Structure formats: structure tokens, C-alpha cells
A and B are shown apart, each in its own frame.
Chain A
Amino acid sequence: MDFQGDANLKATELRLGLPGTLNEPAKQSPPSKSSKRASLEIYDESSSKKRETSSSDVDDRDSTAPPTKAQIVGWPPIRSYRKNTLQPKKHDADALGTFIKVSMDGAPYLRKIDLKQYKSYPELLKALEIMFNFSIGDCSERDYYMGSEYAPTYEDKDGDWMLVGDVPWNMFISSCKRLRIMRGQEARGLTCL
């Protein structure tokens, strides 16, 4: 019986190289400076820097004090879908204040405002005017935003874009998801109602 050729032997050869490659495995440059020894040296040098934390000094940990009350992106780690889906209960009047995004056509940055800070439409509109440095004109019951090339609109719970000011204030803040200040051609279409 004749064991034919090297091909057979090579196929079943047990070797240290990975069987996926036919050639000798390419020399991998060893991660030179990352050996434990090297890193231990670094550690020794910096061991004096190691801070001691006594567990009772909780209040002294100001070097890593978190920004107070600022909105931290991605914390707590809850996905937006879940956050958006959890509506406050229908009869729950004390919904927590919601920050909503405000965009203005032509402005490079969006802003965020807390609707609960405002008690009425004029207050809100004034704040927007200041924030984006524009003028919305007179806001009267009849002729919304006359004399302005801006029209404030908002996206409601159903995803529809509405003109700000149509519904009672309380209904507005509970259904408003985001604001967009339109300008130019589109805006004029709205103000000429």
C-alpha cells in the first residue's frame, strides 16, 4: 500500500500554524511595548500617583463631580424607543417636564427647551424670539404671526405638523413633541390663513 504523495500528508498534518493558511503563518509583530513587564514598569512609576480613597470621604470626591442636573447623553441607558413609548398615564396631570427640540430653518444648531417653564403662548414665543434672535410679529387670535416671515410649527403626538397657537395651551404642551420655526415661502403659506 502506497501513501500517495505529500498532498495527503499535508492535509492531515498536525502543526502549530493555522490550517486556514497554506504558507507559513506571517510573522506577527509582537505587541512590543505592551508586554506585562513594560506595563508594570509604568505602573511602578505612577504608583505614587495612585490616589487613596477612603470610603467615608464620599463628599470629597469633587475631582470627578458630575455636571449637576445637566442632561447626560445616553444616561440612564434606556433606548429612545422605550423612552418615547412610555407616555405618562392619561389621567396623570403631573407629567414631568419634557425637553423638546427646537429647530429653525436656516439655523445650524438645534436648541432644547423645557415646555413646562412657560405658562402661555406669548411667553413661549417671546423666549423663542430671544433664543433664535428673530421676530415673530404680532400674535393675535385672528391673524397669527402677521408681518413675519416666520411661522412656529410643532409636531404633535400623532406625528402631524401643526401651527402653534390653535389649541388651548395645556393641550399644546401635552401633545407637542418638537418645534420647528419655519421661514420663507412655506411659512407665508401658513400665515395667510
Chain B
Amino acid sequence: KMATSSGRCSVEPPLFGPHTGHDPIKALYPMVNEEETPLPRCWSSKDKYSFIGLTQNNLRVHYKGHGKNHKDAASVRATNPIPAACGLYYYEVKIVSKGRDGYMGIGLSSQGVNMNRLPGWDKNSFGYHGDDGHSFCSSGSGHPYGPTFTTGDVIGCGINLIDNVCFYTKNGHYLGVAFTDLPPQLYPTVGLQTPGEVVDANFGQAPFVFDIGEMMRESQCRVRTTIQNFPVPDTYGQWQTMLHRMVSTYLVHHGYCATAEAFARSTSQDFDEELTSIKNRQKIQKLVLGGRLGEAIETVQQLYPGLLENNHNLLFMLKVRQFIEMVNGTDTEVRGVSRSPSRPPTHESSPSPPCWSNGRTTDPVPGTSSTPPSSSTTSTPVIQQHTSVIQSTKNVISSGQTSASPVTTEELNQRNAQDLRASSPPSATNGTTPVIHLPVPSGSSSSSSSSSSTSSNSSSNMHDSDTEMECMEANSHHLQETNNSLGDTSHSNGFSNGFSKDIDIQDDENEEAMEVENSVGSRKMCGGNPDAIGRMLAFGKEVQHMSQVLRRELGKNDHNKKILQDAFSLLAYNDPWNSPVGWQLDPLQREPVCQSLNSAILESHHLPRRPPLEICVAHTKQLISLMSRSGIGSCAFASVDSLLGSQQ
């Protein structure tokens, strides 16, 4: 069991877009990258014979020819071919009217196949015909296949892109495989031949009559079994050693010091790095993730002299981040002066997420900095309010505020904060609630059962069977759970793990921090302290200067230019947190910085920039997207995240 940390991978394949509940077609085929391979969503108004008419958003097809004989047959293809990454593709056609003779064909065809024909009659064309119930496989003569179909019937056509077979359904009943060895890149196709024939297509925009979801789950189950049963060469336990190695390098890389030690001890391995070095890195990471960039830079310079001096771009990135943290009011430079009851709630961050300290909670502030859900809930109600002072004033005036004195931003901020409160679940520990809802895919915090989203109907393995049950001799049973939300949140694993653990512990310090937290009403730039603002501005100049020097010495660097611009843009808003550039203030943004610094330190010690485990995960994801591009259907059911999630 290992933590997935895709958020740390710089190359993120675009396979797992966030699930949008609004697009049912997309939801059917989550592994399809529609930028590369768009899904069929309606009939093509171009790719059809002239005797075909389309209405109702190109979903209804009617015949408008003479219909004298088979030469008057006409077909239409869908807008796009079926992407292989669908794994299992399905669409349904309802026969609105069988017309004169009911010569309707439903099926699949390749691009370029003659449209003056019914599907199935030509090469690379496949159809099931209503008049005789025959299936036509690239041939003018059909084979007895299923029942005939007519007005009112719903015919489904499915294609299994793993086995490359096509099946049909009639009114929700499975008719069986009709065609095998299908070519790739087929389009949904219907053909009509006599006047009055009208059919409606359902590409997934509405619920299907046939239960395709269950069939998909079966395919998923099959693919998963194949993966899990895939034989690995394990001569002399090399495989096991390699896995241990991957886990331990991962732990070391991210500075999970105590865990790494314990793991190494139980698997009798050595580190490549000294323990003190790991601890040093851990310390630096804590500082960066805590938003205390100034201290972090100092520490690096102290512990790794020459590192930043030789890596100007990295130093620049750190400085820019430091500037942002000053705006945030978290950096040490401004922190001392800004400590006040009005500390910004979501941006006062703990010096480190507790997970880095392997369970020894030092100073966690749950629900504030490092939890993505809380920050995302922040932005939703707030953005509609205002982005700049002027706008906000307008809003308020137009909403009926007759008072001559405009509402101050501070008041608005307070409102925002209240909104935020209101929008979060009514819980005593306000800030912590979102954390509990995080799925926790790593085994390290399996104690927090509330966080794992196991499907309720799964038949799970009996964990205690080994110790309690004499009679349970059969093999173990796999968990059958789907953890869909995993893909969305996996990048914050490290944090959520630590937090859910800390919620259980709830030591004094924690409570103290929360107390402060709850009394906070508003947030201001640099904590609202004029001194700090001055320091921030001075530091800004320093950074700008550095940028100019860098440009002179190293040449133009678009990335540096962009991050500086974004950072300075914060100053343009009175309430930077609710501004279009406010995302920079999200503590989550410390992660890539932390990552780069950590990698640089490791690299300077001739250790890998990224742990093999993460490389392996990234590789796998790349391979899956490659499978998708190469038309290998099983990629649809091989999502790395869901696979890892299923092994909880």
C-alpha cells in the first residue's frame, strides 16, 4: 500500500478530468480524452446520404427518399468515431416509426463507407436489420441473428473495444454477440430505406433501457483481475526487494523519516542517504510548506552552501514565493508584526503539515492552509462577491445600501468569512470538517475510517479472518470498491493523511491553534500591519532587481517573468485572496516550490530528483494514455488511481 502522489508529478496526462455531473455522455467514458478523441454526440449533418433528414439537435433521423428499392437506401454516421478508450461503447436507437416497410439497419461503419446503403452491406460496415432480424457483416446477405424490430422498440448497439466484438440489445434484453474482429475507428451508423421511417438516437445523453453500467463494471472487474494476476518474474525475491526499495526511496525522498526508518528496519534495507540529511530536508520542507520562505532560504544557505548560489532560477522562485507569503502574512519577515487576533483564517498556516513529522504533531492547524477542499470552498462563495474594491462598492450600492459611507473592505471580508462559515457543514470544529471528507488512499491513516469512500455494497475481505476464524479456509476475497473521487484529490495525499490522523489525536496545541483560528474575522494584506507592508514592498523591489540581474546574466526567461508578474499582480487588489490572481495565495501552491527545492537538494547529493515510485506511476499513466491513442480498449478500465484505490 502506498500513497499516490500524482500532484508531485510534473507531467500529468490529461486523462482524468474532473467528473462533471453535467455531461452524462462524458461520465460514461471517463478515460476518454475528448481533446484528442471526441465522443459521438449526435448524427453528422455532413456525413449522410441526401435521403436522410435530421431534426431535434441531429438526434432524430427520418427518411425522405422514394424508397422504391435497395438503391434508395440511405445512412448517416455519428459526428465522431468511437474512441478506443471507451472500453465498452453503447448507444440506443428508438424506432419512432417503422414507416412503410421497416427496412431499418442499425450498426457501425468506418469513415468513407458508401452512405447510399444500409449498414452492413459493404466492407467495414456492420448492421442489424429490423425487417428480418438478420445481421449483416460487410455483406449483402445477412445471417439470422435476432428478432425483428419495429415501431416502439428500442435497439441498443454495443461495442466491446477490448475484445473487438459488437452486440445488440432489444428493449433491454441482451441479444448476444453479432460481429467479431471489428476494425478500429467505427462510427455509430443507422440506415433507412422506406418512407416514413423515423428513429431517435440516444448516445448516452439520457438513461439507457439496457443496463450498460453493470456490463462496464464487469469489464472493469475483468481488466483488474488481469492486472492483478499478471505474472511477475520473481526469481530469488528480486521483485519483492524492488518493491521495498521503491517504497523506501519514496519515504526518504519526501522525508517521512520515522516511517522510512521503521520500514527499512522491517524489510532490512539501507538508506542511500544519511538520516541527518533526510531530517534536514524535512526541516526545510516544513518551512516551505508552512509558508516561511525566508527562514527556508536561510536554512538552505546554511545547510547546503552553494546550492542556491548555483541555481539562480530556483532561488528566484523561492524569493517570489517569499514575496507571495509576505502578502499572505505568513512569512517570518511580516509574521512577527502581524500576529494579531485578526489573523487571516485560511492563510495562517501551520509551519508544516503534521504528516511530515510522522505523527508527532507539533503545530497543526487543521482545515486551514494545506487542505484543498477548504480553499476550494472558500473561493466559490467569494468570487461572486467582488474582485476589486470598486466593483464591490458598486455591488453594495446597487443592492440597496443607502448609507453615504461605503462599506469598507474589512466589513466585506468579514462577510466573506461568515459566508464561508455558513457554507461549510455545521460542525463544532468548523475548519476541520472538510478534511474528514477527504478520501485517504494511503494505508498510513487507515484508522480514520470515515475518510475512505468504500462502496457500501461491496463484499469486503474479512480482515480478521486470519486471527479469528478457524474455518475460513477459502481464498481471500477482493474488495470491490470504486474510489472515484481519488483522482481529484490525490495530489494532496500527504496533507490529508496527516490531518486525518491529527484530528484523532487532538493534542493541546492543536486546540489552542484552533481557538485562535475561530476568533479570526477578516484577513488583510501582510496581516494588515503597515510595517509589514513596507517590508513587503521593499522586498518586492529586491526581487524585481534580482529578476533584472538574472535576465542580464542568463537571458530572457518566460517562466520567471510570468511568476513575478503574477506575484506583483496581487498588489493590484485590495482583497488579493478573492482576486483572479488569488490562487497564488493558496497554500497548495507551496507544494511545487517545495518539490523543486527538495529535488534540487537531492540532485546536489547525486540522488534522484524524483522517487522511482512516482516515476513508475507517471510512466504507467503515460502508458495508459498511449494505449488510448493506440486503440487498446482495456485502458478504459485501467485507471491507475482507481486501481490503487481498489487495493485499500
Are the chains A and B members of one assembly?
no
> B residues touching A (Cβ–Cβ < 8 Å)?
none
> A residues touching B (Cβ–Cβ < 8 Å)?
none
